[in-house]
Amino acid sequence: MSRDIIFLLAPGFEDNDRREYCPECAEIWGVLNYFPAILHGLDIRYQPIARPRAEMVDMLGEEHQNCPTLVLAQGVDAGADTYVKTANGHSFLDNARDIGKYFAHRYGVAVPRGS
Ligand SMILES: N[C@@H](CCC(=O)N[C@@H](CS)C(=O)NCC(=O)O)C(=O)O
């Protein structure tokens, strides 16, 4: 079975004349640290802070370069509570909270509080 793809920014990229990290990508790594079994279903692809993020543009188009973004494996159901977008025949989630809700749906792990 094909795996989900998740696009993240790597920690410590250079921007604004300093090293930074993406808080929403760090949230995803927090969830993966809590529930490492999810990693078996994920293909993690780090993107540069600079646009265009070529790999994302190739897959989803110019307008979908947010990190984090999770591209669902073909035929996988994202659950009722998530806002699934589609582009170029791919279904994807482009915010950290929906990705957390999807992990809960697919892997039976805890749900993000407040969602
Ligand atoms: N609503 C998104 C926001 C994430 C976000 O702002 N990501 C930034 C990096 S920290 C990003 O990729 N922005 C688009 C860009 O840099 O081109 C989420 O919750 O995941």
Residue with tokens 């990190």: 67
pLDDT at position 2 is 84
- Determine the residue type at 8: L
On whether residue 113 sits in a domain, the answer given is no
On whether residue 114 sits in a domain, the answer given is no
On whether residue 112 sits in a domain, the answer given is no
On whether residue 86 sits in a domain, the answer given is yes
**At 27, is the pLDDT very low, low, confident or very high (cuts 50, 70, 90)?**
very high
pLDDT, tens only, 66-90: 999 999 999 999 998 999 999 999 9
> Which CATH number characterizes residue 42's domain?
3.40.30.10
On whether residue 40 sits in a domain, the answer given is yes
Which atom of ligand 1 is nearest to 66's Cα? 12
Tell how far the Cα of 67 is from the centroid of ligand 1, in angstroms.
5
Note if the bond before 48 is cis, omega within 30 degrees.
no
On whether residue 51 sits in a domain, the answer given is yes
On whether residue 45 sits in a domain, the answer given is yes
On whether residue 87 sits in a domain, the answer given is yes
pTM here? Answer: 0.94
DSSP 8-state code for residue 30: H
Q: What are phi and psi of 5, to 5 degrees?
A: -110, 135
Please say if the pLDDT value at position 1 is more than 90. no
Cβ 40 vs Cβ 6: under 8 Å:
no
Number of domains in the chain: 1
Mean pLDDT, the chain, whole residue set? 96
Question: Using a 6 Å cutoff on CB, does residue 8 contact ligand 1?
Answer: no
Radius of gyration of the chain from its Cα atoms, rounded to whole angstroms: 14
Q: Coil, helix or strand for 31?
A: helix
What range defines the domain where residue 52 resides?
A: 4-107
